[in-house]
Structure 1
Amino acid sequence: MNSKLARLAATTILAASLAACGGGGGGNDTGSGAAPGTGVVDPNAKAALTTDDAALNGDAISGVTPALSLNGKIVNSSSHAIRLEELDNNQLFGATRFSVKSDGTFSATLPLQTVPAGDYSGSVRLHLCAVEDCSQDVTGVSATLPYTVHVAPSVPANGVSVLSSATQSLSFEFLPATAGSLEFDVSSGITLPTEAWLQVFSTAPTVAGRITLAADRRTSHVSVQIPADLGSLNPLQGKLNIAVCLDGGCTRHYGPDLEIPWRATAHPTLSALRPLAGTPDWDNTNGNAQHTGYVPVTLDPAAFSTRWLWQNDIGGNVTDSGVVTGNGAVYLRYNQYLVALSEERGATLWSVTDDKTMTGVSAAAYQNGRLFYTRSQLIGAIAQVRALDSATGQPVWQTQDSGDTDSDAPVVDGSGLYANVGSFTRPYNLQTGAAGFTWGGNEAWGNVAADAQNVYIWGDYAPPGIANNARDNVGILNIANKNSAATPRSYAIHNLTAAASTQGIPPVVGSLQEVLMATSAPADGVNYRSNDLLSINTQTGNVNWRHLCRCTGAPAVAQGLVYLADGERGTLDVLDEATGTLVWSAPIGSAVGSPLVTNNLVFVSSKTTTYAFDLQSHQQVWSALYAGKLSMSANGILYIYKPTWTDSTLQNGARATLAAFNLH
């Protein structure tokens, strides 16, 4: 790729009046100004000099002589030259003059002098010349232009690249005859000049790279396209070289290149996708708007097989969320990226990057060919709900509000979308994004679930009369009617074992007119604290039962039983939905995430392994050496997603991993 970012350009619009009377100066203005370059001068007309913009702006590299460009035209003057005068002591511009074409236009190259690195600003003045060598000016015709020039440090001589990346290496599986892409960011220790190019080189096989420079000119996003014909060698490996080039052909580099090693492993040929009867799309967190984690299908563990593995080395913070599925694709969030992968082969279909100023970027929900998520800007300046076309990743609509959002995905079902925006949870129209009424009450904000009639919102806002020092151990369940703007019914749940904050755990709508709520677990899933699993009666607000655990995620509920992962005891626990009594338990090691339940199996993940247990025998019947958030698609594929898998071979220790398994 030869990706030229931006060439220096400077344009301005200037006009100067000249009292006619022979044109002044050397008497050159002696024709009509009906048109430039015609040789006809009107003694009563005014001369003018016109360019495209009002300032000279650009970049330079210390020790490298660049130039600014200036284009325009003159009218009603037969002058053939323009002189530039610098009005300050920066000494950026030497003695510069340039010619005017016969048609009155000019295209000037203004070379800059070699100066130390830094930011320079000042002014220059343009003069129309009365004679060819500009020893004499046309009287009264001049114009002043401000300029701003950033001069980057000279080309490094210490052997260290000015570029760096949290991504230290890239490893991925490729599929025969299937193209893909890898995404990562690079940063610069200096403000990169726009006169430079960024370019991706690689050892064989050749891959194509595209680099987008951010507005701060210190960060860049790299997208590397992996071709379909990687060849027969397995594994393939090489290096990506990210170069800052000083010319379009990249024959001169701005210091050493940034080198990132890569390794690719061929994947076996895959079977065709087949829908699994009775299995819906996994369209919300924990599978549906009620967050039950239940899929009404019967599975045979003997038919399970590995399908594909997707990995991407990442750095920085991640959204520790599961995936959603629909339209033959699986959609996942990591860092600022929302990525669509083919369910059939795991190939990247598209990726969307949210601006890094958007700090509250949520996971996504899926409904009828669209993806929905929320995002907010630092300090709450902007809060948005966004809808994307699931086939292309292109925006369909977005709202514009102020306040905060959170990292929990909005809830969608056939009736609408429900999201935390500002200080309240609101309904939105799925087709247009139009916001409905705002539910008030005890600041109805928090994790959300929905059923056919109501929206359930769990938060930690203290109602009147509760002292601030007790607030952390009080939770609030708000229940809002979907079709009414009435203030939600609000129930305060007192004397919680730990803080009410749910840290990304949604409420679960049970089958016995109750909401199940695991109250406190850390986002990293490692340092667990004691917390409560509550069963709350949705008619009275009374607590039916409490179960003390260190829950690592929301419970799953199906057929009168509640399934939860206990991170401290390292067990899968199964409770009676009506009473909270322990029915059976199975050891799994240090548990993570939420269980996933079918008619005959329960899947649960430890820190290293995902297990399947038979619901009748309570025996383990299957396992896979991948761990994380669990999802199941309508095509009968089990997904295990861990956006923060620790790998000692990586400098930043973070690798997003999505493993796909055929279940039929």
Structure 2
Amino acid sequence: MPVTPWIARALVLAWSTALLTPLASAQAPQWTQYQADSSHAGYVPVTLDPLVLDLRFEKQPPTDRELGHPIAMDGVILAQRRRAPGLGLYAYDHISGELLWTEDFDAFGPSVISDPSWVPGAVMVEILKGSYTSEFRTFDTRLGVPYATGYGLHGFTSSGCKAPSVYKNRAYLASGRFDGVAAREIATGDLIWDYDSNEVENDWTPAVDDDYCYLYLEGKLHAYDRITGVVEYKVPDPDWTGGRHDYSTPRLGSLDNVIVGHSNRIMSWNRNTGVQNWAVSGDWRDPSAIAHGMVFARGYSGQVVALSELDGSFLWEWYPPNGDEIQWDILVTDSHFVCSSYTDTYMVDLGTRSLDWQYANGGKLCLAESNLVIAGTYGILSVFAYREVPEPATISPARMEYYVSTLPTVTITGEGFTEPGEIEVWFGDEKADQITVIDDQTLTCRPPDRGPGVVDVTVRNTHGYGTIADGFAYTPSQQLGGSFAIGEQVELGLQFEQGHGIAVLFDFGARRSQKIQFPPYIGDFWLESYQILFEVGSWPFGERLDLDFQIPMDPALIGQEVQVQSAIGPNPRGKQAAFSNLVSFQIQ
């Protein structure tokens, strides 16, 4: 069917270029301090399958009293008892549960120790000695050999402190009732800087990023230069009601924000300027975790509450069964959130909020070293092996010419590649070969030989699969997008070798019933007849071209099928080109 008239009067073309930029490679999850890392967001980028959680071991340190926040790293799970008797650290092998070492602080006279933190090779705690004097101590992770000790801080109060916040080989500590916060060199224990406050209470820790150390104290959000301790800002909370018990651990979100709580309020502040973004009040305690654009908090009625990270609006709430009440910080993954009462731990699907898993031990949580760790309220340490579903994130190179005789080796980065069992990589519906797993975050493979087009890349193991949508292009390739209704814009994305010429062809009606070939053109041709939609002799601006064109507002076109195929190569008019895949759409 002739189409030149409507194309001539109505086609509006605009193009843009974009080089394909790989994402940063994923990192193995670690849980090195309170709520995972120095952002205290409580988020671990893994996908869990609750059907294959296996109990590795359960241990009970020499106490039936509450355990502190656990950490997991270097093949070690570290549990802690904050108060005497049984005051100390207990290091277990993360697979066998063998007790590697203990550090008993009862004999040294302190009454309280902080939760532990970790840097490669060493763990650290702050311990209270005497009325208001504390020490900062570090130990070898696997051997328990003591390293540096720092002295001279005024101690924290009797409820203890959360773990020191660790960032780039420095520890940032909530240093007690009189000295508000301090920075110490981990290797030596030397004091770098500190801030004095007469209003600080216990059981909090600062948040730290590359620039600042953040505190919420004395009714103000504080930001100190991480290196020098110089004050960047102290911004008053306009709704602060006063009182000494105004500690709150800040959480760093994904929007350059700091999330803090006070009484039954949760607030978001701009991390760079200290300007308050929003503040909301409700039936909830301090924020507990931040992930997927949501702020997770425990409700005063025992529920888990989710607020929008963007504006604080209420999203949903989840109540544990049988009137149970969530007591401890919440852990969030890509598939579930995990929370605990005094007696039980619950794993809840993020999308459906269905209860997928429950275990009769409740306490403080961490997720690392392929383990879910529950440091129980009544002194029992439960460690479950989780089976990680692969999560591919990037692929390089992300395209190849489909007609080459030698297939390239591609590198895929992500997580969960070393789980037991066979691992497979699929390009669309065809399987790759020569798969080599380098480590948990890296594998290589050879793509299958197939025709032109863009395909999903899927990494699969016995527990599930993860996919990079439209992850790989056999070029020259085409993709359609946009809207196919009259008056709307259709998008055509092309990928090809930089510098090649492009001829985009189209036709109305059905495609050929059988493919044909026109040597020396490479590949299969599917159009019955064609018109030239777009042509350029050489495209020097990258490996991608995006075209937008508008369908006329003509009801007579509704129902028409449009076929599009391109010839792309060094000289399409001179028959030095390959045919792309065929794409089609029906005008609506």
Length-normalised TM-score, structure 1: 0.49
Aligned-pair CA distance for 1:408: 2.0
Following superposition of structure 1 onto structure 2, how do residues 603-614 of structure 1 map, counting pairs within 5 Å?
603-614=338-349
User: What residue number does 1:330 align with?
Assistant: 77
Equivalent residue for 2:374, pick from 619, 640, 653: 640
Aligned to 1:383: 134
Q: Which residue of 2 aligns with 1:305?
A: 54
Q: CA deviation at 1:419?
A: 1.5
Q: Percent identity?
A: 24
Distance (Å, rounded) in 1 between the aligned partners of 2:79 and 2:56: 17
Matched, 1:476 2:220: yes
**Structure 1 residue 595 displacement after superposition:** 1.1
Structure showing greater relative contact order (alpha-carbon pairs closer than 8 Å, 6 or more residues apart): 2
Relative to structure 1, the CA distance from residue 494 to residue 519 in structure 2 (aligned partners, 3 Å threshold; closer, same or farther) is: same
Quote the RMSD (CA, aligned, Å): 2.6
1:500 Cα shift?
A: 6.4
The CA distance in 2 between the partners of 1:310 and 1:448, in whole Å, is 31
Residue in 1 aligned with 2:230?
486
User: Which residue does 1:401 correspond to in 2?
Assistant: 152
Equivalence for 2:90: 339
1:630·1:640 contact (CA, 8 Å) conserved in 2?
Answer: yes
| Distance in 1 (alpha carbons) for counterparts of 2:271 and 2:37 | 19
Give the distance between the partners of 1:393 and 1:616, measured in 2 at CA: 42
Q: 1:500 to 1:535 in 2, by over 3 A?
A: farther
- Structure-1 residue corresponding to 2:544: none
- State the match for 1:571 in structure 2: 303
Q: Does 1:364 align with 2:364?
A: no
Alignment equivalent of 1:560, drawn from 293, 305, 319: 293
Relative distance call for 1:578 and 1:311 in structure 2 (3 A) is same
Match of 2:364 in 1: 629
Deviations 1:65-108 (A, max 9, x none): xxxxxxxxxxxxxxxxxxxxxxxxxxxxxxxxxxxxxxxxxxxx
Counterpart selection for 2:167 from 409, 413, 432: 413
Counterpart contact for 1:439–1:487, Cα < 8 Å:
no
After superposition, the C-alpha distances for 1:425-463 in whole angstroms (9 at most, x for unaligned) are 22222222222133468878863111121111222x3xx
Q: Give the letter for the 2:277 counterpart.
A: N
> Cα gap change, 1:502/1:555 in structure 2, threshold over 3 Å: closer, same or farther?
farther
1:413/1:452 CA distance change after superposition, 3 Å: same
Contact 2:260 2:286 in 1 (8 A): no
Amino acid at match of 1:609: D
- State the shift of 1:330 in Å: 0.8
Q: How does 1:439-450 map to 2 (within 5 A)?
A: 439=195, 447-450=205-208
- Asked if residue 456 in structure 1 is aligned to residue 456 in structure 2, the reply is no
The structure 2 residue matched to 1:532, chosen from 255, 260, 265, is 265
Stretches of structure 2 lacking an aligned partner (at least 5 in a row): 1-25, 388-588
Amino acid at match of 1:428: R
Per-residue CA deviations over 1:469-514 (Å, capped at 9, x if unaligned) read xxxxxx22211111234234212224347856366x5211112222
Q: For residue 541 of structure 2, what is the aligned residue in structure 1?
A: none
Match of 1:591 among 319, 322, 326: 326
- Check whether the contact 2:287–2:295 (CA below 8 A) recurs between aligned residues: no
Cα deviations by residue, 1:163-202 (Å, 9 ceiling, x for unpaired)? xxxxxxxxxxxxxxxxxxxxxxxxxxxxxxxxxxxxxxxx
Separation in structure 2 between the aligned mates of residue 439 and residue 498 of structure 1, nearest angstrom:
20
Contact 1:613 1:619 in 2 (8 A): yes
Q: Indicate the SS of the match to 1:302.
A: helix
**What are the superposed Cα offsets for residues 18-42 of structure 1, whole Å, 9 maximum, x if unpaired?**
xxxxxxxxxxxxxxxxxxxxxxxxx
Report the alpha carbon displacement of residue 296 of structure 1 after superposing the two structures with TM. 0.9
How far apart, in 1, do the equivalents of 2:360 and 2:69 lie?
A: 18
Task: Kindly indicate whether the alpha-carbon contact (under 8 Å) linking 1:552 and 1:565 is maintained by their aligned counterparts in 2.
Answer: yes
Query: Is residue 2:409 matched to residue 1:662?
Result: no
Q: How many residue pairs are counted as aligned between the two chains?
A: 347
SS of the residue aligned with 1:437? strand
Q: Which has the higher strand share?
A: 2
Aligned partner of 2:313 in structure 1 is 581
Query: 1:348 aligned to 2:99?
Result: yes
Counterpart residue identity of residue 541, structure 1: G
Secondary structure of the residue aligned to 1:379 is coil
Residues 210-253 of structure 1 show CA distances to partners (whole Å, capped at 9, x for unaligned) of: xxxxxxxxxxxxxxxxxxxxxxxxxxxxxxxxxxxxxxxxxxxx
1:501 aligns to what?
Answer: 245
Partner amino acid for 1:435? L
For structure 1, the 5+ residue unaligned runs are 1-276, 462-474, 521-530, 646-655
Match of 2:220, SS state, is strand
| Cα distance in 1, alignment partners of residues 382 and 338 from structure 2 | 14
Distance in structure 2 (CA, Å) of the matches to 1:436 and 1:494: 32
Q: What CA deviation, in whole Å up to 9, does each residue of 1:260-287 have, x standing for no partner? A: xxxxxxxxxxxxxxxxx85422101001
Alignment of 1:133-152 (within 5 A): none
Residue type at the aligned position of 2:319: P
Taking the aligned partners of 1:663 and 1:478, their CA distance within structure 2 comes to 39
